[in-house]
Amino acid sequence: MIGDPVYARRFAADHAHVVGDLPLWRALAAAHGGPVLDLGAAVGRVAIPLAEDGHEVWALDGDPNMLAELAQRAAIAPEVAGRIRTIPADIRDFDLGVRFPLAICAMNTLQVLLDVDDQLACLRAVAAHLAPGGAFWFDVAMPDVGEIAASLGLIRDEGRNVDAETGMTRWHRSWFRGYDAIDGTAEYTHEVQDVAPDGTLTIHRQDHTVHLYQPPELLHLLARAGLRVVDRFGDFQRTPLDLGASHQVVCCEVDA
């Protein structure tokens, strides 16, 4: 499904309701200025709002269909589209010839990197693209291994949203299918039930495998990549990180 224009459009619709982190990214862009490097930009869920705020954004993603969907959505406002540069590239291997005051990687994107070599390659590429004094901010989930193991196969209701373009009501559900304690990976399924205005039901499912980063593990990875952690938070409101946090929101800089 990845690499498919239809998947890119569905991805945009399925994630349009995810907005809780946007105030943080907008505040960071306002504080650091542009250009902003958005890693794993996908269809522009973050890049477009930043461009709407007047920032130049370099939107990097390995799926050209995602970037095509981003460009189509941004084109509604030409002045916004003019501030976004789409970069079809792998987040593990890119050389843009530009240093950025701010790089971001939102929505748990780093968790798709399952191998240590891939994780380090990405982080080192980011470090090489930070301007002096520049910052790299990202978020990943705060893993609760006990909860995952206890909830294997149990369906979690993740709410609903209404698609403004189609009028469809989208019900979101997910469940964990497996957990590997040795590799630190989890397998889960995300399901979206689309209910059309006429009541027609369509169900879409997507399977995922993600890496679960433990906080000490992240510190080691970042240090090996030449990055120094400046601060860590447990949510997008910058609450201090603790064991009850749902996220790890991390700010780091190049280690001098």
The per-residue pLDDT for range 112-159, each reduced to its tens digit, is 999 999 999 999 999 999 999 999 999 999 998 888 888 888 898 888
* Class level of CATH domain 145-211: mainly beta
Helix (H, G, I), strand (E, B) or coil at 163: coil
pLDDT at 1: 46
Q: Stretch 46-58: mean pLDDT, rounded?
A: 97
* The pLDDT of residue 11 is above 80: no
Higher pLDDT, 10 or 216: 216
Question: Does the pLDDT value for residue 98 go beyond 60?
Answer: yes
| Residue 15 pLDDT | 72
Q: Mean per-residue pLDDT for 30-39?
A: 98
Q: Is the pLDDT of residue 2 over 80?
A: no
Q: For residue 30, what pLDDT is reported?
A: 98
pLDDT above 70 (res 243): yes
User: Given this model, what pLDDT does residue 119 score?
Assistant: 98
What region does 112 belong to: left with phi over 0, alpha with psi -120 to 50, or beta? alpha
By the 8 A CB rule, do 36 and 58 touch?
Answer: yes
pLDDT tier for residue 12 given thresholds of 50, 70 and 90: low
35: preceding bond cis by omega (within 30 degrees): yes
State whether residue 76 is helix, strand or coil.
Answer: coil
Q: Which residues contact 207 (CB under 8 A, 6 or more apart)?
A: 177, 187, 188, 189
pLDDT reported for residue 40: 97
Tokens representing residue 20 in the block? 């809780």
Percentage of the chain beyond pLDDT 70 is 96
Please report, for the chain, how many H helices and E strands are present, in that order: 8, 11
Tell me whether domains 5-142+214-254 and 145-211 share a fold: no
Spatial separation of the C-alpha atoms in residues 254 and 226, rounded to whole Å: 6
Beta strands in the chain, from DSSP E residues, in sequence order: 36-39, 57-61, 84-88, 100-105, 130-141, 156-162, 169-180, 185-195, 201-211, 227-233, 247-254
pTM above threshold 0.85: yes
Residues 175-207 as b/e (b if ≥16 CB within 10 A, e otherwise) read ebeebeeeebebebeeebbbbeeeeeeeeeebe
Burial degree of 208 (CB within 10 A; 0-12, 13-18, 19+): middle
pLDDT score for 221: 98
Query: Roughly what angle, to the nearest 10 degrees, separates helices 116-128 and 215-224?
Result: 60
Contacts of 112 (CB under 8 A, 6+ apart): 40, 210, 211
- pLDDT, mean of residues 29-46: 97
- CB atoms inside a 10 Å sphere around CB 243: 8
pLDDT attached to residue 168 = 85
End-to-end distance of the chain based on CA atoms, in angstroms?
42
Strand partners, 249: 139, 233
CB 109 within 8 A of CB 91: yes
Domain segments of the chain: what residues?
5-142+214-254, 145-211
Domain covering 5-142+214-254: architecture: 3-Layer(aba) Sandwich (3.40)
Is residue 3 predicted with pLDDT exceeding 70?
no
pLDDT at 164 over 90: no
Q: What is the mean pLDDT of the chain?
A: 92
Structure tokens at 245: 């946090």
What is the spatial distance between Cα 215 and Cα 59, in angstroms, rounded to a whole number? 27
pLDDT tier, 13 (very low <50, low <70, confident <90, very high otherwise): low
Burial of 1 (0-12, 13-18, 19+ CB in 10 A): exposed
Of the pLDDT bands very low, low, confident and very high (cuts 50, 70, 90), residue 9 is confident
Percent of the chain with pLDDT over 90: 72
Mean pLDDT, range 209-215, rounded to an integer: 96
